Structure 1
Amino acid sequence: MSTIDLNADLGEGFGRWRLTDDEQLLSVVTSANVACGFHAGDPVTMRRVCELAAERGVTIGAQVSYRDLAGFGRRAMDVPPAELAAEVAYQIGALEVFARAAGARVAYVKPHGALYNRVVHDERQAAAVVDGVLLADATLPVLGLPGSRLLALAGKAGLPAVPEAFADRAYTEQGTLVPRSEDGAVVTDPDAVVERSVRLARTGTVTSRAGSSLAVRARSLCLHGDTPGAVELARRVRRGLEESGVQVEAFV
């Protein structure tokens, strides 16, 4: 039987503003990428999501990003490596306080938005993220795009490197994500997202924007919590995976 983790970005609110339906999504996913306050999230939100995740047996991950609340972490930035490493460690440490208070722990790290895309190719920024993870906890797995510099450097540093795929994002011919600034970057047809999810889990392939088949071997499948209708879409994806014989469980 094929096995895959289902992760979603959660805790993406701030103060009175909430973007993700954390309570409902935590009934579906097996891993939660929790915003740590730099692109979204605040202490109250982080604590609440950790408590809900712990109650439901969902694995908690730190979703680290550039310091960019106004741009939701999706604006290109150029942060000095030493500063970026410290900020990554800072975010992990902040979430760890709330995870431990809830009787759980931060079990992995995943970059968000512009940082996620930057560390696919940028050696210095990828190395800074790895340094930040090592500073916080040298045993933490790192979740990222297959073939990225981030996963290569994480593995070289002794961190478990975990490849992930995206059911609701379009892929380029090079196996990277189509930038959100381009039309069609986000796959919005629920039937297509479910079909892509099952195909990724069972065959390790996905169709690129140009129509070719790409090899994307992943241990985790991401659904974005800020997508309209995210909860129902996540339910359909999980149901589709299980009905096709894929076991959905956390990778760590």
Structure 2
Amino acid sequence: MGVTDHDRPHPDLEAPVVERDGVTIVHGIELRVETPSQRIDLLGYGLDPTPELRAETERLARNRRERAHEIVACLEAELGIDLDLGIDGRTGRPHIARAVVEHPEADYQTVERVFQDLIGTDRPCFVPRAIPDFDRGVELLSGAADLLSLAHPFRYADPAAALARCSRLDAVERYYPYGADVVDQPLLESAIEDHGLLVTGGSDAHGTEIGAAGLDRADYESIAARISPEP
């Protein structure tokens, strides 16, 4: 099982691969990066964080805190409420949206509606994050991870442009619970063949429910062969 926290190494995983209660856990990270046309997510598996990566993730955590405070201040002014929300380096828009939904005076019933009306891109309380560009992201992860993969290519506005970036990566996330028939399978398979990619799978699980990633044994063994258990 891979654990890939957003923009941070997991604090409780001390090696690229660890054994816990009979489960093999691969330490990873999901790093959001900027390209000229859109923001995409890079996955690094078999993570042994370098000082450079730690410095960047600490900067991202500070930026995330500052951004969360700005968004909360805007929402409180916009809605005329006080949001009792503890903010730290992991606080993101979903946490803030849930706090709005749970507030008795906010009159919002769903997280999706909060995004649509208030905190989604170009909405009144949207605050962009300061993230590294693609080249810097690849540089940081190449020095710290055994395997680099493009996360969920069909969640982006331009999947073809995202998949073209795989020329600099080792793998692409073939299996992902998109929740709709949005996968252009020929486009995906063409990228895998053109760039000689391995394939990864992610359930995008948040919380206590662990999903199935979808890898068959051959795909799993190809990935496992690339990941060193030792730093």
Fold shared by both chains (TM-score > 0.5): no
Rg (Cα) greater in structure? 2
TM-score (norm 1): 0.35
TM-score (norm 2): 0.38
